[in-house]
Amino acid sequence: MTKFTADSLWMDIHDLENNVLRRVENRLQSELETFVKEFETLSITMETDKLDGCEDKLTKNRNLDQLIQDVTDTNAIMSSIPVHPRILFEEEKEAYRLTLDKRRKELENEIQRQSDRIESNYAKMTRDSIHRHLVGSHFGEY
């Protein structure tokens, strides 16, 4: 039978830490260092490539003066276009509101008629059912 002591457990834990955790930590550290080195060299070359590409794009596009002239021409054209906002007069608003109110009242009346019709049908069916049960239960006694 194997006996476990605190010293042996601490030694096993220490060995586990050294073998597994330290190795992983060292491997991660080395991967991070290589990544940082590659990233620094890559980012420097990418920045210089971007700067080289900017010069070509600037020479291909129109110069700044032409762009400013285009913007001012566009602004002048836009300001010369008349703006016609749609204005509803108070009379039109009132007439529209009255038609909406009239339509709402008509719909409310129709709903009330339907509700009354349903209630009267239900009342008639209830009366008929009560009548059948009362008459039917006393019918055989006479």
Residue type, 109: N
pTM for the predicted model, two decimal places: 0.33
**Cα 38 from chain centre:** 39
**Cα 136 from chain centre:** 64
- The CA distance from 12 to 17, in Å, is 9
Burial (0-12, 13-18, 19+ Cβ within 10 Å), 72:
exposed
Instruction: Write the DSSP symbol of residue 83.
Output: P
pLDDT in single tens digits along all 142 residues of the chain: 566 677 777 777 777 777 777 777 888 888 888 888 887 777 666 556 555 656 666 665 556 667 777 778 888 877 777 655 555 577 788 888 999 999 999 999 999 999 999 999 999 999 998 888 887 665 555 4
* pLDDT value for 66: 73
Q: Which residues contact 86 (CB under 8 A, 6 or more apart)?
A: none
Among 45, 27, 46, which residue's Cα sits nearest to residue 35?
27
